[in-house]
Every structure is written in structure tokens, then in C-alpha cells.
Amino acid sequence: MKKKRNALYAQSGGVTAVLNASACGVIETARRHKDTIGKVYAGRNGIIGALTEDLIDTGKEPDRAIAGLRYTPSGAFGSCRYKLKSLEENRAQYERLIEVFKAHNIGYFFYNGGGDSADTCLKVSQLSGTLGYPIQAIHIPKTVDNDLPITDCCPGFGSVAKYVAVSTREASFDVASMALTSTKVFVLEVMGRHAGWIAAAGCLAADRNNNIPIVALFPEVSFDQDKFLAMVKDNVEKSGYCTVVVSEGTRWPDGRFLAEASTKDAFGHAQLGGAAPLVATMVKDKLGYKYHWAVADYLQRSARHIASKTDVKQAYALGKAAVELALRGRNSVMAAIVRISDNPYKWKVGVADLKDVANKEKFMPMSFISEDGFGITQKCRNYLKPLIQGEDYPPYSNGLPDYITLKNKAVPKKLKGNFKI
Amino acid sequence: MKKKRNALYAQSGGVTAVLNASACGVIETARRHKDTIGKVYAGRNGIIGALTEDLIDTGKEPDRAIAGLRYTPSGAFGSCRYKLKSLEENRAQYERLIEVFKAHNIGYFFYNGGGDSADTCLKVSQLSGTLGYPIQAIHIPKTVDNDLPITDCCPGFGSVAKYVAVSTREASFDVASMALTSTKVFVLEVMGRHAGWIAAAGCLAADRNNNIPIVALFPEVSFDQDKFLAMVKDNVEKSGYCTVVVSEGTRWPDGRFLAEASTKDAFGHAQLGGAAPLVATMVKDKLGYKYHWAVADYLQRSARHIASKTDVKQAYALGKAAVELALRGRNSVMAAIVRISDNPYKWKVGVADLKDVANKEKFMPMSFISEDGFGITQKCRNYLKPLIQGEDYPPYSNGLPDYITLKNKAVPKKLKGNFKI
């Protein structure tokens, strides 16, 4: 008979509308296998909770609260931006993790994050072998940027894509009504530091019924100011108005971001914001059109109220699959989405080796970007459309979504001394 | 027997998520009274269409399309920012309107807008008396700013309020998850040039279940930088993070807007935007906290996907009531919402004299703002809560709201010569 061991689940990096749906998938599935998986702990604030032995006992939450995670955005246990150094640079961090795992009889490590955390997950699994303490480390993909390799898409992306497509359509209807005497150009800035997936989703707002004129700016395409202004002018002259969707990561030909702030985040990435006002002002200065601009920022990735049903299902399915992979003895793998067909959309859960995932970014293929560089191709549409299908509304009370806040009770510490982050 | 006359419906000023629901109320109700009201024309781009004799024949739209207006944001016939001058300054404009009305046998004028258009509506009605061409001019209130007098609330506001409350809650959950190692302060800029109603709605995001720490900045309260920073610091120290909701119209003690751009709109109002980045940078510079900021701009007022059911009902009811007032022979009036009770929320449609409405702004009463100036009182909560009640989701196809685009067929012109705007 297999020895019963506990599990640790941790959330990493920027949170999403459906990150907790993956947590729900992990915990609900683990609860159905209590013969093999004992307690499910969660790291408070992600991997930092694991390092500092600040663990949450998810067993203290009733089934109803765990079920509520399915429709609650953000990271219910806290996430963090904290990248473990390489094994050579800070072996102590990894040894500490193993020490905490040992102290709490943790045999399963479910890490829910992007490329950086896939790397951490891989290293933990490698080191546990070296140190002779067996851990099954399974990664669950999560990133609104949709930039992980192998998996067809990343949970979190479909919901941001839906939010951005819906918002772009709504704001475009607004501008169209006002254009004769007021705003002619509306600029929406969306996330996407290195990959233009989210801006591409903005292009879905237009279809044959509404003919919304959209100009998209992608990080993959170096910004050509003259061509851009000509496109905007042409749209305003033909349709009376123009909607611009700009990725925060759009760059000048010399590589600088359109709007680069001077601050950096914990991973050393430049903190961005402000491409929309820059582009809007450029349109005003060069073409004389009245503008409005919006920066969606966190609103887009937390907008659980308009989450994609497909995205919610996939986020849950990958959490569930991670536990099932663990039960089947797998290690150093990521649960992934495999697309079977576009139309009708069919998908299944597959498995990727972590060494093929860690620290790799997936950009939009050039075949997804229209020839002029300011829109998307039919191929891109075929890829994106299924991901925003279906609505999955949260319950409401008093006019507001009834999101869950967990008790997050701490597990008593077993180790002596504090670990310095 | 009463002579059958046509109606003109026109949309004015900034559009909303439910402006078309009022149009739907007007047209559907008029269609049920074909014995009295002949055709329902709409001004293309609002009053400009009336002045230039560019009228739309809504009779060319099938019932299904008109029903679709109930769930389509923006202004389906086009709106405009164009304020008629005073009667003394430009009598020709008013005479032209009467001329167009006469040419098309228009006896009912339904004007759907804010304070400026209430004033136009009043003047048209006064002049029609002077010129001996009888017009019944009825105003239908619309403004996300909720700043019209007499009516308890303005259609359009409830939906923006719901959007801002939902978004504030979602983004706050997001920041709470990230605060330990990343963003500690999230700043959301919302509309509200002179009145803080929309920012006040952001405060609804917090309740006993989530304890979200929110600091709101209202145009009604002169900005006190030191007090503000102390509030933010206190929240971050107690809760780990802080959410700031700032009205675009928040001002420094000397009266300048926090972020005043140099451009002005067609009414001569300063064009605003950028209070959020200013406040966020201030927080970073003075307190050192990492921030994120969003500017919702048009997204908030066009967000039909998360419209308040109460708001949609009221918008429709006031459109319907305007026609019924016309049928009862009323003139120079506005259909208004009368609140009967807060809890349970009960309301009915009332009537206001246009002379009591035109060019008056309703600010938030000081009793609605908490003593420290950065939040709302229970009285304000009691007022706001019913207005965001209920969801009224539009139909979706292919993952996107299936908003209606009308054919907007022009009515053949009867007058010679063009009128210069």
C-alpha cells in the first residue's frame, strides 16, 4: 500500500480571473483521493510561504468555500513575484524548500504559475532527487500573457481576451456614436509585455455586423509611426472614427518601450504603463483628432464577472489533471491544453515535460499578424475565437459578485528558526 | 379626434450603457399608439440631425431590432456634443428646428440627454409657443454623472456605478494577492467632472466580508495631499494594500484639476484624464509603494455587459413615460425617477418641470461623504445600493455580446438648402 503523503499548492506571479479555479480543481480532486493525498497545504503568498514555513491548511475550509474558488478571481492564498535564484547561486533556498516539505510530509508539489515558476518547479524536482527526498513536482500553467510553450493556451488568457474583446466592442460603439462632434479616436492599452496575444483579442471586437475599424499595436511589430498615423487617418476618413488597441509592450524601432517607466519589478522587468496616453497624444498632435484613452491594467486580468467559460473549464481541468498526474506517479511535468480542432472546438488535457517549458516564451506566430502589421489574420481568429466562448457568471448578492474570502488558517510550524527571504 | 403627428427622438451628449434602452422605451411605446403618434424619427447625431434635416426613419427597423436597443450600449442614432446658443445669441438655430419640425409634421420632441439638452428642450418648447407652431417637448434624463436635479437618479449612472463597484472589488482582490512582494497601491480613475457619484460607487466594493481598504477622492472635497498620503499609508500598514478610487474631477485646493489637459471639448469644458497616474506617482514618490493604475474612461460608461438591471428598467421606463406624458398633452417636462423607499427599494416615475432642471447640477450632499472626506456614509450606501441591483446580461454569440447596429435609413429631405452648423 502506498504511503499517504501531503500536498503543497502554491500560486505564483500575476494573478488571473481563473487562477483560483485551478486551485479549486486541485483541492476538490485531492479531497476525492484522501487514501493517497493527506492534507492539501497552500503556501501563503506562494513560494514565500513555503520558504518561511507559512503554510495554510486548506482542510479547514468547508467544501462550499473551496467550490467558491471556482468563481473568485485573484489568488486566494496570496501570490508573489519572487523568482528563486539558480541552484548554483542559492542552493540554500532549494534545500530549505525540501526541509519544509520533509517537516510536513509533503510529497506532492503543485505550482501554479508562468514560465518562472515552471523553472522553480523543475529545480525543486531535480534537487529532491539529489537530496534523496522524493517529491513529485507538477506545474499548472497560468498566465494572462499566453506565452507558455507546448500548451495550446494558458488559463487566464481566455478571460482577459474576452474582457478585452468585449470592452473594445463596447467602447467602439461609444466612440462611433460621438465621432461627428467629439472623440474620433479611442485608444485602449492592454497587457502583454513581450507577446501581443491580448491586443490580438481586441481585434475580435470587429466582425461583419459592425465593421469596427481597429488598429492594433503588437510587441512583435516594431512601431512605425508614419504607417500607424496613416492607418488611423484612413479609418477616421472612411468610418468616422478609429479604435486603437495597444500592447503595453509595443516598442520603438530602437527597442525602447513606447512608454517605459523608470521602475522595475522584482524579476527585474521594466514596469510599464502609459503607452495609451502617448499614442493618443501623438494622434492629436499629428492628426488633430480628439481622443479618449483607457488603461485597463488590473481590471482586465481580474474581471471574473466576464470570464470565458472555456477558460474557467480549462483552468479547473488543469488543476484536476495535475492531481491525477501526481496520483499516476508523474514528476517534473506540466498539465497542458491540447487542441484537437478549431471548429467545433475540441480540446483535451495533455502532459508536457517541465524541461521543455521552463523559461521559454511563446510569441505570436507571424502568420497570426496581418500583412500591414496592425491586425490579425483569419488563422489567428480561428485560434482565438474558441478561447472566449461562453459566459460563466459568478453569483451576485446586493448587486455585486459574491467572491469568496478564505479563512487561510496557518499550519503550526515544525521547524525552528526563521528563514530570511 | 386628435390630429396624428410625428415624433422626433434625439440623443445628446456622452452616451451610456442604457441610453438606447430609453430609445427602445420611446419607440416601442409610440408603436403602440399609432393612432396618435405617426412616425418616430430620430436625429442622426442628435440635435445636429434635426438642424440639418438629417432624420432617420425608425419605422424602417423591424420590432426585433428595436427590441435589441434595450441591450445595446452607446447611441444607436448617433449623439453629439453640441450646445445650442441662447435664444438671444442664435435665434436662427431654434427657428430652423421649428422649420424642420413643421416640414415633417413633428409634434413631439423627445430629447434624451443631460443638463445642457434639458435647456435646449426647454427653449424649443418656449419658442414653439412664440412662433405659433405647437410642439410638445419632453426631456428624458441621461447622464452617467448622476448630476441632474429632481430625478432621484439618472439612467446611465446605475450601470457605471455597478461597473465601477465590481471592477474596484475585482482589482482589490488582485492587489491583495500581490501586495507582499509587488503592488501595494492600486489607483482607479473614474468619471465625474464635478460630482463624485461614480467614485462613491467604488466604495460599495468594500463590505464586511472582504474589508477592502478604499480611499476615494471626490471633486466635492478639495485634495489634501498630506491627509491622503497618511490614509494610504495607514491602510497599507494595517491591511497590506490600499485601493484608491479617484474622480477625474478631483481638484487641488487652488481649484486646478489634479490632471488637467490643455484641450477643451465642444462645450468649452476642460478635457480631463490622467489623475490616476498622477496620484500613483505621488504614492510612489512620497511613500515608496509599488503601484498600478487604471483609467476606465469609456469602458465604464459603455459596459453594457455588466449593466445594472435597475438602471436598464428605469431607462426603459422613462422612455416609455415620456411618450405617455406626450399622449397626456404634457409639454416642457422631464420624466423623472421618484424614490419611494430604500429597503425594499421602491420607485415610480414622476414628472419635473423643465425650468427646474435645465442647467442645474446636483452634487453629492455633504452628508454622503464620510467625515474624513475619503469615503461614503451609510446614508450614501443606502442611496447607492439599490441602483446597482440586478444583472441584465445581453445575449452573446461567438463569445461576444450581440449588440444591434441599426440600418438608420434617412428620411427624404423636404427643405431646400443646407443649414450650416
Would residue A234 show up in a list of annotated catalytic residues for this protein? no
Which of B266, B283, B302 is the C-terminal boundary of a domain? Answer: B302
Which of B284, B302, B320 is the C-terminal boundary of a domain? Answer: B302
- Residues B253, B182 share a domain: yes
Least confident of A232-241, B82-91, B133-142, B217-226: B82-91
Which residues of chain B make contact with A308, given a CB cutoff of 8 A?
399
Nearest-neighbour CA in chain A from B15: distance (Å): 6
Residues A178, B14: C-beta atoms closer than 8 Å? yes
- Residues A274, A161 share a domain: yes
Residues A169, B401: C-beta atoms closer than 8 Å? yes
Angle, helices A309-327/A157-178, rounded to nearest 10 degrees: 170
Q: What does the DSSP 8-state code read for residue B277?
A: H
pLDDT digits (tens, 9 = 90+) for B57-92: 999 999 999 999 999 999 999 999 998 888 888 888
- Examine residue A376 and state whether it is found in any structural domain, yes or no: no
Nearest-neighbour CA in chain A from B51: distance (Å): 14
State the residue range of the domain holding A319. Answer: 5-143+305-359+391-401
Nearest-Cα residue of chain B relative to residue A277: B274
Name the 3-class secondary structure at A158: helix
**Is residue B215 very low, low, confident or very high in pLDDT (cuts 50, 70, 90)?**
very high
Q: How many CB atoms lie within 10 A of CB B230?
A: 13
- Examine residue B383 and state whether it is found in any structural domain, yes or no: no
Q: What is A269-318 written as a DSSP string?
A: PEEE--HHHHHHHHHHHHH---EEEEE-THHHHH-GGG-BHHHHHHHHHH
Which residue out of B116, B145, B311, B392 is catalytically annotated? B145
Which residues of chain B make contact with A302, given a CB cutoff of 8 A?
167, 170-171, 173-174
Nearest-neighbour CA in chain A from B284: distance (Å): 10
CB–CB of A81/A267 below 8 Å? yes
Residues A295, B295: C-beta atoms closer than 8 Å? yes
pLDDT digits (tens, 9 = 90+) for A142-151: 999 999 999 9
Report the alpha-carbon distance of residue B399 to residue A165 in Å, rounded: 9
Nearest-Cα residue of chain A relative to residue B344: A398
Supply the mean pLDDT for chain A: 94
Which residues of chain A make contact with B117, given a CB cutoff of 8 A?
none
Which residues of chain B make contact with A273, given a CB cutoff of 8 A?
277, 292-293
Residues B177, A79: C-beta atoms closer than 8 Å? yes
Q: Taking Cα atoms as reference points, which of A387, A416, A294 lies closest to residue A18?
A: A387
Residues A405, B293: C-beta atoms closer than 8 Å? no
> Which among B172, B297, B345 is the top mutation candidate for probing chain A, defined by the most A β-carbons within 10 Å of its own β-carbon?
B297
Nearest-neighbour CA in chain A from B189: distance (Å): 10
Average pLDDT over residues B227-241: 98
- Residues A251, A326 share a domain: no
Which residues of chain A make contact with B304, given a CB cutoff of 8 A?
170
Residues B73, A296: C-beta atoms closer than 8 Å? no
Residues A398, B389: C-beta atoms closer than 8 Å? yes
- Examine residue A334 and state whether it is found in any structural domain, yes or no: yes
- Residues A348, A212 share a domain: no
Which residues of chain B make contact with A169, given a CB cutoff of 8 A?
400-401, 403
Q: How high is the pLDDT of residue A361?
A: 84
Q: Strand ranges (DSSP E) for A51-144?
A: 55-57, 106-113, 136-141
Q: What is B355-413 written as a DSSP string?
A: GGTTT---PPPGGGB-TTSSSB-HHHHHHHGGGG-SB-PPPEETTEE-------PBPPP
- Residues B237, B205 share a domain: yes
Q: Distance of alpha carbon B418 from its chain centroid, rounded?
A: 32
CB–CB of B317/B297 below 8 Å? no
- Residues B298, B168 share a domain: yes
Report the alpha-carbon distance of residue A31 to residue B186 in Å, rounded: 36
> Which among B77, B169, B173, B212 is the top mutation candidate for probing chain A, defined by the most A β-carbons within 10 Å of its own β-carbon?
B173
Q: Using CB atoms, which residue from B78, B274, B306 is nearest to A306?
A: B306
Helices first, then strands: H and E counts in chain A: 12, 15
Which of A303, A332, A350 is the C-terminal boundary of a domain? Answer: A303
pLDDT digits (tens, 9 = 90+) for B21-71: 999 999 999 999 999 999 999 999 999 999 999 999 999 999 999 999 999
Residues A265, B82: C-beta atoms closer than 8 Å? no
Which residues of chain A make contact with B175, given a CB cutoff of 8 A?
298
Which residues of chain A make contact with B290, given a CB cutoff of 8 A?
263, 265, 271
Residues B75, A178: C-beta atoms closer than 8 Å? yes
Residues B301, A15: C-beta atoms closer than 8 Å? no
Q: Find where cell 436625429 sits.
A: B43
Q: Distance of alpha carbon B369 from its chain centroid, rounded?
A: 21
| Domains in chain B, number | 2
H/E segment holding residue B40: strand B37-43
What distances in angstroms separate CA B275 from CA A354, B142, B187, B239, one per listed residue? 44, 25, 9, 24
- Examine residue B192 and state whether it is found in any structural domain, yes or no: yes
- Examine residue A39 and state whether it is found in any structural domain, yes or no: yes
Residue B264 scores a pLDDT above 60: no
- Examine residue B376 and state whether it is found in any structural domain, yes or no: no
Residue B255 scores a pLDDT above 70: yes
Nearest-Cα residue of chain B relative to residue A191: B294
- Residues B257, B200 share a domain: yes
CB–CB of B335/B353 below 8 Å? no
Q: What is B208-253 written as a DSSP string?
A: TTT---EEEE-TTS---HHHHHHHHHHHHHHHS-EEEEEETT-B-T
- Residues B197, B232 share a domain: yes
CATH code, domain with A297:
3.40.50.460
First-to-final CA distance of chain B: 38
Positions of chain A with pLDDT lower than 50, given as ranges: 1, 262-263, 265
Nearest-neighbour CA in chain B from A382: distance (Å): 11
Nearest-neighbour CA in chain B from A316: distance (Å): 19
- Residues B186, B87 share a domain: no
| Beta strands B346-353 and B333-341, pairing class | antiparallel
Which residues of chain B make contact with A391, given a CB cutoff of 8 A?
393, 396
Residues A11, B177: C-beta atoms closer than 8 Å? yes
Q: How high is the pLDDT of residue B47?
A: 96
> Which among A16, A81, A182, A210 is the top mutation candidate for probing chain B, defined by the most B β-carbons within 10 Å of its own β-carbon?
A182
- Examine residue B377 and state whether it is found in any structural domain, yes or no: no
Nearest-Cα residue of chain B relative to residue A298: B171
A141 prior amide bond cis, ω within 30: no
Residue type, B384: L
CATH code, domain with A34:
3.40.50.450
Q: How high is the pLDDT of residue B262?
A: 44
Report the alpha-carbon distance of residue A148 to residue A242 in Å, rounded: 32
- Examine residue A271 and state whether it is found in any structural domain, yes or no: yes
- Residues B198, B92 share a domain: no
Q: How high is the pLDDT of residue B1?
A: 47
Q: Give the three cell numbers for residue B55.
A: 432624420
Q: Using CB atoms, which residue from B48, B174, B188 is nearest to A181?
A: B48
Share above pLDDT 90 across residues of chain B, in percent, rounded to a whole number: 85
Report the alpha-carbon distance of residue A226 to residue A400 in Å, rounded: 45
Q: How high is the pLDDT of residue A1?
A: 47
Q: How high is the pLDDT of residue B420?
A: 83
pLDDT digits (tens, 9 = 90+) for A56-77: 999 999 999 999 999 999 999 9
Q: Using CB atoms, which residue from A11, A45, A210 is nearest to B181?
A: A45
Residues 6 or more apart whose Cβ sits within 8 Å of residue A142: A11, A12, A13, A16, A19, A22, A112, A113, A114, A154, A155, A156, A315
Q: Using CB atoms, which residue from B79, B166, B290 is nearest to A177?
A: B79
- Residues A168, A112 share a domain: no
- Residues A202, A74 share a domain: no
Average pLDDT over residues B101-105: 97
pLDDT digits (tens, 9 = 90+) for B267-320: 555 545 589 989 998 999 999 999 999 999 999 999 999 999 999 999 999 999
Which residue out of A145, A152, A311, A392 is catalytically annotated? A145
What ipTM does this complex have? 0.96
